[in-house]
Structure 1
Amino acid sequence: MYKSIFILLATFLLSGSVVAQKSGNEKLFKDRYIKKTMKKALDWQLENPKHELYDWTNGAFYAGVFAAYETIGSKKIWNAMYEMGEANDWKPGPRLHHADDHVICQTYIDMYRVSGEKKMIEPFVETMDKFIATPYEADGIFEKTWWWCDALFMAPPAFVKLGITLDEDKYLKLSDKLWKETYDLLYDKEHHLYARDMSYKWNEPGIEEKREANGKKIFWSRGNGWVMGGLVRVLSELPKDYPNRDFYIKNYKEMAAKIVSLQQEDGLWRSSLLDPDSYPGGEASGSGFFCYALAWGINNGILDKETYLPAVEKAWVGLNGLIQPDGHVGWCQPIGADPRKNFVADSWEVYGTGAFLLAGSEVIKLDE
């Protein structure tokens, strides 16, 4: 009897928390409002370009632009992506093995799937064949090809998209190999989070240990947001019977459970995940990628809806609070390799907008 009462009470409290998240914020979850807000943020960002168009920052942004195109269906959005591709000659960045220079190719491949124009993927195919044929030259402690966690958003989805599109298993196998190397190098199996790179590893010979003010390990919000985003973009491509799919599912579920436990009361995450008191403001880019990844998991039946939906709703409410009057996504941490950067309401970056657009593209799919 007592067990039944406890279950009933827990169910009531959970349903109450969901209602509380949306109470007074119902309009934020309306399809029309989500599209309107996404369009406003996108229009502002397109009018305020930044960085080389092939740069990793824009690779993350245009991943969100394509998601906005699928959500809104605007010819203007397609034209913006097409102009970007033409300006880049549909090429990746110049560094052969550097994951950051491959992320823009995710958008090229997505566009190729719509239009069938081979020029959109031919340069990337040439680059990938050269990548496979050319050994990576290690640099000091960075002996692995992908020695920083951000890389897992940048390159694997592009490799896997190309492999699925062309039915070429070699690209998938390469992605599996390099992801596993990075996992073995950086994944903390106690905390279920990724260190940003080897310089944030602990108890490693020759590496000075770094800790937060509260003595805890340093886990960067956006860095782990990159990984979560990379996981869902790889999983969305891999067939259900793919041999290594379970590895990615396990990694994703472990991280999802941990990430939800670190969400703050305002629905956002701090730039340093284990020391939120030292970073009092919610950060746009990490929070955007977490919202995107968690919503995707619900929409695809991988994450339990009752457990994770309240977190996604809190995150979406919080993210909308970061949109500034002119439409730009504020409170975005600047470029850097750690949480230690100051940012304010006016702080923006193109990848912050990309993360917001990706989040909106999944939140709009949530069942009522």
Structure 2
Amino acid sequence: MKKLLAVSLILLLVCQLYASDNADLFKPKKIEKAMKKATFWQLKHPKHKLYDWTNGAFYAGVFAAYETTGSKKIWKALMEMGETNEWKPGPRLHHADDHAICQTYLDVYRVEKQEQMLIPFRDTIDKMMATPYSTGKIRPITWWWCDALFMAPPALVKLGEILDEPKYLKLNDKLFKETYDLLFDEEENLFARDMKYKTDWEEPRYEANGKKIFWSRGNGWVMGGIVRVLEELPADYPNRSFYEKLFVRMAQRIAEIQQEDGLWRASLLDPASYPGGEASGSGFFTYALAWGINNGLLDEATYKPVVQKAWVGLNSLIQADGRVGWTQPIGADPRANFSNASWEVYGTGAFLLAGSEVIKMNW
């Protein structure tokens, strides 16, 4: 016990010294300014259909930026997005990617209380529940890839809480647990991207150093999804402990493999093969860990230095115009190349979510 206390005190001291060297980055006005700059740059540079999963992640961050800054300009952008989409999910009935944007619709609904903002998603999920899902070799379950756990679960739980309909929470529990059982690695406390990255697959894949392949962005999205689910679930919800325990297990592992620059590499267990810090995975990890501290699930003395290094690292990726660089492009594994010029809307979304929690911490 005394040894643990001593370690915690040392970590806090290191944290304070690190904060003094980068003090400006942790000032609320500085964080808000960075969030606004990134938001407005990204809004001026659209890239995908507004209902696309990429924008599901981006607009989750945009709503967080609105909550943080109170910007009327950001609120206008949220309303314009929803109206353009007619508050509808994407066209694929069972596909979690096409449900991601609905997280933001439901957040906006809570402010505006306009039923057209939630009815299309409710009707889609009701139809989905009544329609069998066609499985296959790679997709034996509905949510067969790990980043699906960011896309759909928060939207389902938000819908259930808003409508006071337990069936949507139960559906999330069922589908989430299926993904956990299929893809969670009990030894590494990380998720394989999909079945092709499990060691029992017919042609198992490994990194150059012989380690298993665990994708940073995929695991970042899982952690982001978990905290967004926990944010919604009642404290006495019967299955809440499952999500809390999973979150803590992943947080411990993620903290262990943070790199010296505060960021995480595209492949979590083979950083030498991927030298650049990656914005989207790192952003979601920062968001999740900061949320865990702010909500009492993670020990502040242990995890605050991790978040601190991560926020400094993330700010090093922001370009002068507000673009979030060093974002890995769309793909299904760590191998796609990226640079300071590489950007994607979900990289900005991850940065905004991170900022929305970092700003709440006691610096």
Give the letter aligned to residue 229 of structure 1: G
Give the letter aligned to residue 118 of structure 1: E
Instruction: Tell me the residue number matched to 2:297.
Output: 302
* 1:166-185 mapped onto 2 (5 Å cutoff): 166-185=163-182
Alignment of 1:363 onto 2:358: yes
Q: Would the aligned equivalents of 2:103 and 2:154 in 1 still touch at CA under 8 Å? A: yes
Q: Render the CA deviation track for 1:212-259: whole Å, top value 9, x for unaligned.
A: 000000000000000000000000000000000000011000000000
Q: How far apart in 2 are the matches of 1:20 and 1:343?
A: 32
Instruction: Tell me the residue number matched to 2:128.
Output: 131
Q: How far apart in 1 are the matches of 2:197 and 2:330?
A: 17
Give the letter aligned to residue 120 of structure 1: M
Give the letter aligned to residue 301 of structure 1: G
Q: Would the aligned equivalents of 2:255 and 2:306 in 1 still touch at CA under 8 Å? A: yes
Structure 1: segments with no counterpart, 5+ residues: none
Q: Would the aligned equivalents of 2:56 and 2:100 in 1 still touch at CA under 8 Å? A: yes
* 1:19 CA displacement: 2.1
* 1:140 CA displacement: 2.4
Instruction: Tell me the residue number matched to 2:207.
Output: 212
Q: Render the CA deviation track for 1:104-131: whole Å, top value 9, x for unaligned.
A: 0000000000010111111111101101
Give the TM-score normalised by structure 2.
Answer: 0.98
Alignment of 1:37 onto 2:34: yes
Q: How far apart in 1 are the matches of 2:356 and 2:41?
A: 18
Instruction: Tell me the residue number matched to 2:183.
Output: 186
Instruction: Tell me the residue number matched to 1:15.
Output: 12
Q: Would the aligned equivalents of 2:41 and 2:323 in 1 still touch at CA under 8 Å? A: yes
* 1:13 CA displacement: 2.5
The 1:80/1:325 distance shift into structure 2, 3 A limit, reads same
Alignment of 1:146 onto 2:143: yes
Instruction: Tell me the residue number matched to 2:154.
Output: 157
* 1:8 CA displacement: 7.1
Alignment of 1:27 onto 2:14: no
* 1:290 CA displacement: 0.1
Q: How far apart in 2 are the matches of 1:20 and 1:45?
A: 33
More displaced 10-residue stretch of structure 1: 21-30 or 163-172: 21-30
Instruction: Tell me the residue number matched to 1:232.
Output: 227
Give the letter aligned to residue 314 of structure 2: L
Q: How far apart in 2 are the matches of 1:8 and 1:67?
A: 35
Q: How far apart in 2 are the matches of 1:20 and 1:245?
A: 36
Give the letter aligned to residue 59 of structure 1: G
* 1:1-368 mapped onto 2 (5 Å cutoff): 10-204=7-201, 207-368=202-363
SS of 1:23's equivalent?
helix
Q: How far apart in 1 are the matches of 2:5 and 2:354?
A: 32
Give the letter aligned to residue 303 of structure 1: L
* 1:11 CA displacement: 4.6
Q: How far apart in 1 are the matches of 2:145 and 2:232?
A: 23
Runs (4+) of structure 1 moved beyond 2 Å? 6-13
Give the letter aligned to residue 285 of structure 2: F
SS of 1:13's equivalent?
helix
The 1:63/1:11 distance shift into structure 2, 3 A limit, reads closer
Q: Would the aligned equivalents of 2:153 and 2:229 in 1 still touch at CA under 8 Å? A: yes
More displaced 10-residue stretch of structure 1: 230-239 or 12-21: 12-21
Q: How far apart in 2 are the matches of 1:201 and 1:267?
A: 28
Q: Would the aligned equivalents of 2:265 and 2:278 in 1 still touch at CA under 8 Å? A: yes
* 1:10 CA displacement: 3.1
Q: How far apart in 2 are the matches of 1:326 and 1:264?
A: 26
Q: Percent identity?
A: 69
SS of 2:61's equivalent?
helix
Q: How far apart in 1 are the matches of 2:342 and 2:197?
A: 26
Q: How far apart in 1 are the matches of 2:355 and 2:238?
A: 31
Q: How many residues align?
A: 363
Q: Render the CA deviation track for 1:244-287: whole Å, top value 9, x for unaligned.
A: 00000110000000000000000000000000011111000000
The 1:289/1:7 distance shift into structure 2, 3 A limit, reads closer
Q: Would the aligned equivalents of 2:96 and 2:143 in 1 still touch at CA under 8 Å? A: yes
* 1:142 CA displacement: 1.3
* 1:23 CA displacement: 2.8
The 1:210/1:25 distance shift into structure 2, 3 A limit, reads same
SS of 1:173's equivalent?
helix
Q: What value does the CA root-mean-square deviation take over the aligned residues?
A: 1.1
Give the letter aligned to residue 269 of structure 2: L
